[in-house]
Amino acid sequence: MRYDESPPSPESSSSVSPDRRWFTRRSGLAVGAAVLAPTLMAGWVLVQLTTGAGADDARPPRIVMPAAATSPTPASSPSAAAPGAKGPLAGKTVVIDPGHNTGNFKHTSEIDRKVDIGTNLKECDTTGTTTNSGYMEAEFSLDVSRRLRTVLEAKGLKVVLTHEAGTARPWGPCIDERARIGNEAAADAVVSVHADGVSSGNRGYHVILPAKVKGGAADTAKIVGPSRDLGERIGSNFARTTGSAPANYLGSGTGLVVRDDLGGLNLSTRPKVFIECGNMRDAKDAALLTSPEWRQKAAQGIADGIVGFLGG
Give me the pLDDT at residue 88, please. 83
Which pLDDT score is estimated for 165?
86
User: Does the pLDDT at position 227 exceed 50?
Assistant: yes
- pLDDT for res 186: 98
For the chain, state the CA radius of gyration: 20
Domains of the chain: 50-309 (3.40.630.40)
pLDDT tens across 36-51, in order? Answer: 333 333 333 333 333 3
Residue 108 to residues 127, 139, 254, Cα–Cα distance (Å): 8, 17, 35
User: Which pLDDT tens digit goes with each residue over 104-113?
Assistant: 999 999 999 9
What average pLDDT does the segment 230-237 reach?
98
Beta strands in 65-176 (DSSP E): 93-98, 114-116, 121-123, 158-161
pLDDT band at 144 (very low <50, low <70, confident <90, very high): very high
Tell me the C-alpha distance between 302 and 304, whole Å: 5
Question: Which H or E element spans position 25?
Answer: none
For the annotated catalytic residues, the residue numbers are 276
* Amino acid 86: pLDDT: 66
